[in-house]
Chain A
Amino acid sequence: MKRLALILMLVASVSRAEGQWLTSRGRIAEETRLEVFGGARTFGVGAVRPNDEGRAAWSAEAVYAFRDRVIELRGARVWQFTPTRFATASVNAGTSMYVVPEQFNLGLGPNVGLALGLGGPRVSVDLGLQTGLDVFAAGAHLRLPQRLSIGVTVRVCDFTISAMARAGADIVPGHAFVGRGDFVLSIGWLGLR
């Protein structure tokens, strides 16, 4: 078990993953959240804008995978389907797009996620499940990313600090699976009124 945990941690630090980061949280904040994040292979910016009731939100992320030299754009709608309490759950549906510049290859696909947030407005732990389908223009390749995620977010005044990790696999029809993982640290700002 220890060895498995070590492997997952190490994978998280050196591999890649897809899907939204900012909506893999159970609780939707009442304020618009702007966030910058970075990890071992990617960095990016994103925003989550809630509706007036604070029970649904739009999110957008722009990410650059600097080791793989791929641009990723992600957008999603997220709905919090439980009251805001210690255990808060949300579901999200969105799209990811990949641009592979030197090949002029383009990938696009839908994804959905389920997140459970445990904690309060100051400190929360979020667990998530993500699944999706990516289709790439070059060769019409398909892959189905499947991920488990975990994150910790601490809020101080209008700022948040988060550590988020996820691991899983891309299921590629007709081919062997590809192990995936990612880890990012992020700083968010909720001061936009």
Chain B
Amino acid sequence: MRLLAALTVFLSACGLSAPTVGRVTSPGVAEAFFETRANDTDVLRVRVLFPSDESGRPMAGPHPAVVYVQGGFVPTQRYAWQAEVLARQGFVVAMPDHTLDLAFFSIENGEVARKLLVTPPSRSLLEGLVDANRIAVAGHSLGGVVAIKLALLKGFRAVMVQASFSDAADDTKLPALGMPSLFMAGAKDCQATLRQVEAGWAKMPSPTALVVLPGTTHYGFTDTDADDAVKCPPEVAIEVSHARIAAAMTGFLSTAFEGSVGETALRAVEGVEVSVR
């Protein structure tokens, strides 16, 4: 018993990682890794990108935020470009890890990440950084399915779904979603086909927007679409896809926390098809 007590005291000194400064990844953006507890016993690592000064210290908040859920078997690093875009626009972006990079095995990690943003460790760089009433959830592919599940938990204020659609098990809950949603579909996506995404979008309650990206494939939302090159080649350069995705996200988020989908900004995105209802 004494040994256990001594071990407990010793290990309690090994606290969870709560950085006070980040690593600058590009001008105006820094990255830091936090640890938090999930499911009582599990250490969950959360990658956080945020608006920063040149030394990696956060720009004074509170900022709006996005919790981003990775696609199946796709590391969070491959969505860092999206997080950089959003952080440059003044958002704090949290990307929680998932076992095996499969969000399905720990669906609520995104909610744990939201709670980390809202109630961060004291004296960490997240303290006072995020506006708890302006947090959106987003996800790609399997992460999109999970993002909708997280949105249904009611802690978020907007949801963005990329190359994905809802789990049929959630269909009856969707009418009570109560927040703006944005669906993005690649017209050349062979995994979440345009038809499937459109059918999923049709189930979403208003206000909601669908942005179709011509020539974009499933992995066009990640850092490279090389995975699509053989069976499902893209018809636009990935830089073009990225520019459209970035413009659609920031356009949607410009008014999402006020309860609308940013229709004017979405229709201004060059080269995409926009539907709103």
Contact of B11 among A10, A69, A105, A107 (CB under 8 A): A69
Do A11 and B99 touch across chains, with their CB atoms under 8 A apart? Answer: yes
**Which residues of the partner chain B approach A14 to less than 8 Å between Cβ atoms?**
99-100
CB closest chain-B residue, reference A137: B40
Tell me whether A178 and B106 are in contact in the complex, defined as CB-CB below 8 angstroms, given that A16-B41, A172-B39 are known contacts: yes
Do B41 and A100 touch across chains, with their CB atoms under 8 A apart? Answer: yes
Do B11 and A141 touch across chains, with their CB atoms under 8 A apart? Answer: no
Tell me whether A71 and B41 are in contact in the complex, defined as CB-CB below 8 angstroms, given that A178-B105, A178-B106, A179-B105 are known contacts: no
With the chains together, A73 CA to B8 CA distance in Å? Answer: 13
The 7 A-B residue pairs with the shortest CB-CB distance in the complex, in nearest-first order? A179-B105, A176-B107, A101-B11, A101-B12, A136-B40, A68-B43, A70-B41
**Which residues of the partner chain A approach B43 to less than 8 Å between Cβ atoms?**
67-69
Residue B14 at the chain A interface, CB threshold 8 Å: yes
**Which residues of the partner chain A approach B8 to less than 8 Å between Cβ atoms?**
71, 99, 101, 104
**Which residues of the partner chain B approach A67 to less than 8 Å between Cβ atoms?**
43
* Interface positions of A from 55 to 83, Cβ below 8 Å from B: 65, 67-71, 73
Closest-CB distance, A172 to chain B (whole angstroms): 7
Do B14 and A101 touch across chains, with their CB atoms under 8 A apart? Answer: yes
Residue A175 at the chain B interface, CB threshold 8 Å: yes
Residue A15 at the chain B interface, CB threshold 8 Å: yes
With the chains together, A47 CA to B274 CA distance in Å? Answer: 65
For chain B, the count of residues having a C-beta within 8 Å of the partner chain is 25
Do A15 and B99 touch across chains, with their CB atoms under 8 A apart? Answer: yes
With the chains together, A70 CA to B99 CA distance in Å? Answer: 18
Do A10 and B41 touch across chains, with their CB atoms under 8 A apart? Answer: no
Closest-CB distance, A180 to chain B (whole angstroms): 8
Residue B104 at the chain A interface, CB threshold 8 Å: yes
Tell me whether A102 and B12 are in contact in the complex, defined as CB-CB below 8 angstroms, given that A11-B99, A68-B43 are known contacts: yes
With the chains together, A14 CA to B7 CA distance in Å? Answer: 25
Do B41 and A176 touch across chains, with their CB atoms under 8 A apart? Answer: no
**Which residues of the partner chain A approach B115 to less than 8 Å between Cβ atoms?**
none
Per-residue contact bits, chain A 138-165, to B (CB 8 Å; 1 contact, 0 not): 1001010000000000000000000000
Per-residue contact bits, chain B 100-131, to A (CB 8 Å; 1 contact, 0 not): 10101111100000000000000000000000
Of A16, A107, A141, most B-chain CB atoms within 10 Å: A16
Of A70, A172, A176, most B-chain CB atoms within 10 Å: A176
Other A-B pairs, 6, CB within 8 Å; known A14-B100, A68-B41, A102-B14: A11-B100, A69-B43, A71-B11, A101-B9, A104-B8, A172-B39
For chain A, the count of residues having a C-beta within 8 Å of the partner chain is 34
CB closest chain-A residue, reference B45: A67
**Which residues of the partner chain B approach A102 to less than 8 Å between Cβ atoms?**
11-12, 14-16
CB closest chain-B residue, reference A142: B40
Do B39 and A170 touch across chains, with their CB atoms under 8 A apart? Answer: yes
Residue B4 at the chain A interface, CB threshold 8 Å: yes
Do B37 and A103 touch across chains, with their CB atoms under 8 A apart? Answer: yes
**Which residues of the partner chain B approach A37 to less than 8 Å between Cβ atoms?**
none
A-B contact pairs, 21 of them (CB 8 A): A11-B99, A14-B99, A68-B43, A69-B11, A69-B43, A99-B8, A101-B8, A101-B11, A101-B12, A102-B12, A103-B37, A104-B8, A107-B41, A138-B40, A143-B39, A170-B39, A176-B106, A176-B108, A178-B106, A178-B108, A179-B99
CB closest chain-B residue, reference A104: B12
**Which residues of the partner chain A approach B15 to less than 8 Å between Cβ atoms?**
102
CB closest chain-B residue, reference A175: B108
Residue A98 at the chain B interface, CB threshold 8 Å: yes
Residue B149 at the chain A interface, CB threshold 8 Å: yes
* Interface positions of A from 115 to 154, Cβ below 8 Å from B: 134, 136, 138, 141, 143
With the chains together, A138 CA to B42 CA distance in Å? Answer: 14
Of B8, B11, B41, most A-chain CB atoms within 10 Å: B41
CB closest chain-B residue, reference A141: B40
Closest-CB distance, B120 to chain A (whole angstroms): 15
**Which residues of the partner chain A approach B9 to less than 8 Å between Cβ atoms?**
101
CB closest chain-A residue, reference B149: A176
* Interface positions of A from 1 to 29, Cβ below 8 Å from B: 7, 10-11, 14-16
